[in-house]
């Protein structure tokens, strides 16, 4: 399989936003226009993370996608936001997503995690681990008490899903912290497959990330919205080094 160049889109109160450090959000517009443009540009997949989800993720999804009726959506969509059970996950898939993104909260509920994987198939599951750093620790944002090793012990060694790693400090920045990501991966396990996101905008950074055999995909965030032909330019510039679609 070739490596993937994807998009990471953050939703806050039904608006697609530029995200900065997971806290500040600036409005971009409606999801349908950005998704349609990304599809035109040949994006490999689109990850949609809904920060202001309700208790009914399928209905949130349907609300976001109700303007897609006239649009021929043919790009893989992964959706996350409040998916905590296999019923949530299945209803989101039936509503139009192709994969689901779950949080650490769901991983720490082994029954729910197991059921989601069993119901959908592991390949349809992405575990999102937003990484935060203090002077004393590297941890998942909002889950300081848990070390990465503890988290790693919850993930089956032969798990076929993917882990989405993002960085609070690099969210909205113009460069990623690859050192941090690679350190986290060593603790989580290099046998798993990863999607890196946060701060990616230059071909060099993307190539350096994809150079690691455990990285299947890089998901680009804010940069998508602020540059014409973002995905196409990136693919054009990295294509001499790696195979891209």
Partner 1 sequence: MISVTKNSRQCTRCLYNSLHPFGLTFDLNGVCSGCRVHDEKDYLDWNERFLLLKNLTKNYKLKNSRNYDCIVPVTGGQDSFFTVHTVVNKLGLNPLLVNFNRNFNSAEGIKNLAMLRTKFSVDFRQFSINPIIARRIVKTTLANLGTVNWLWIAGQTSFPVRVASELGVPLIIWGAHQGIEQVGMYSYLDEVEMTSRYRREHDLMGVDEKTIFQFDPDFNQKDITALSYPDDDLILNCGIKGIYLNNYIRWDSVAQHEFVSKEYGYIGRKSSRTYYKYDNPDCPVYGEFQDFLKWLKLGYGKVTDHVVRDIRHKRISKSIAVKQVKKFENKLPKDVDKFANWLGIPSSNLLLAILRNSTNFANQISEDSWKERFISKSKYSLKPNIFNKSLIDQDFINFGKGI
Partner 2 sequence: MKTCLILDYGVGNVQSLSSFLKHQNYIVSNGKSKDDILSSDLLLLPGVGSFKTAADNISTEITEVIKLRHKLARPILGICLGLQLLYSESEEAETCKGIGIFLGKVKRLEDLSRIGWDKVNVDKANEISGKYFYFNHSYAVPNLTSTDISFKSISGGYDSIVIQKKTVGVQFHPEKSQEAGSVFFKWIEDKIWGVND
> In whole angstroms, what is the distance from residue 222 CA to residue 174 CA?
9
**Dihedral angle sign, alpha carbons of residues 227, 60, 128, 86:** negative
- Binding segment for partner 2 (CB under 8 A), chosen from 18-26, 27-35, 41-49, 166-174, is 41-49
Of 19, 17, 61, the C-alpha closest to 199 is 19
> Per CB under 8 A, does 60 bind partner 2?
no
The count of other CB atoms within 10 Å of the CB of residue 78 is 25
> Per CB under 8 A, does 135 bind partner 1?
no
- For the purposes of burial, counting CB atoms within 10 Å of the CB of 99, is it exposed (0-12), middle (13-18) or buried (19 or more)? buried
Locus of tokens 């998508």: 224
Q: Which two tokens stand for residue 206?
A: 């993307």
Q: Looking at the DSSP assignment, which residues form a beta bridge with residue 5?
A: 218
Locus of tokens 């399989």: 1
Of residues 191-210, those binding partner 2 (CB under 8 A): 193
CB 229 to partner 1: min, Å: 6
Name the binder of 162 from partner 2, partner 1, none, CB < 5-8 A by kind.
Answer: partner 2
Contact yes or no for 131/166 (Cβ under 8 A): yes
CB 173 to partner 1: min, Å: 10
Question: Of residues 54, 121, 142, 186, which one binds partner 2 by CB under 8 A?
Answer: 121
Of 204, 231, 213, the C-alpha closest to 75 is 231
Which is closer to partner 1, CB of 174 or CB of 191?
174
Site mask for partner 2 (CB under 8 A), range 174-193, x = bound: -------------------x
Of residues 8-37, those binding partner 2 (CB under 8 A): none
Residues that bind partner 2 (CB under 8 A): 1-4, 39, 42, 44-45, 68, 72-77, 90, 93-99, 118-124, 158-162, 193, 216-217, 245
Residues that bind partner 1 (CB under 8 A): 12-13, 15-18, 20, 24-30, 33-34, 37, 40-41, 172, 222, 225-229, 232-233, 236
């Amino acid at each position: 399989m070739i490596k993937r160049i994807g998009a990471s889109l953050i939703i806050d109160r039904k608006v697609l936003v530029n995200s900065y450090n997971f806290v500040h959000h600036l409005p971009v517009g409606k999801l349908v226009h950005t998704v349609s443009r990304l599809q035109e540009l040949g994006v490999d997949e689109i990850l949609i993370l809904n920060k202001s989800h309700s208790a009914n993720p399928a209905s949130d999804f349907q609300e976001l996608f109700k303007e897609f009726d006239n649009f021929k959506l043919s790009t893989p969509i992964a959706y996350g936001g409040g998916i905590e059970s296999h019923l949530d996950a299945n209803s989101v898939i039936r509503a139009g997503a192709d994969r689901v993104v779950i949080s650490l909260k769901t991983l720490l509920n082994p029954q729910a995690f197991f059921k989601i994987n069993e119901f959908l198939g592991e390949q349809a599951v992405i575990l999102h681990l937003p990484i935060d750093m203090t002077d004393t620790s590297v941890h998942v944002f909002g889950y300081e008490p848990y070390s990465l090793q503890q988290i790693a012990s919850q993930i089956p060694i032969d798990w076929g899903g993917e882990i989405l790693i993002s960085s609070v400090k690099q969210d909205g920045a113009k460069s990623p912290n690859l050192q941090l990501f690679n350190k986290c991966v060593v603790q989580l396990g290099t046998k798993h497959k990863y999607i890196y996101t946060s701060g990616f905008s230059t071909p060099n950074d993307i190539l350096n990330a994809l150079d690691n055999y455990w990285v299947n995909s890089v998901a680009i965030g804010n940069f998508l919205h602020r540059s014409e032909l973002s995905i196409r330019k990136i693919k054009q510039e990295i294509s001499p080094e790696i195979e891209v679609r």
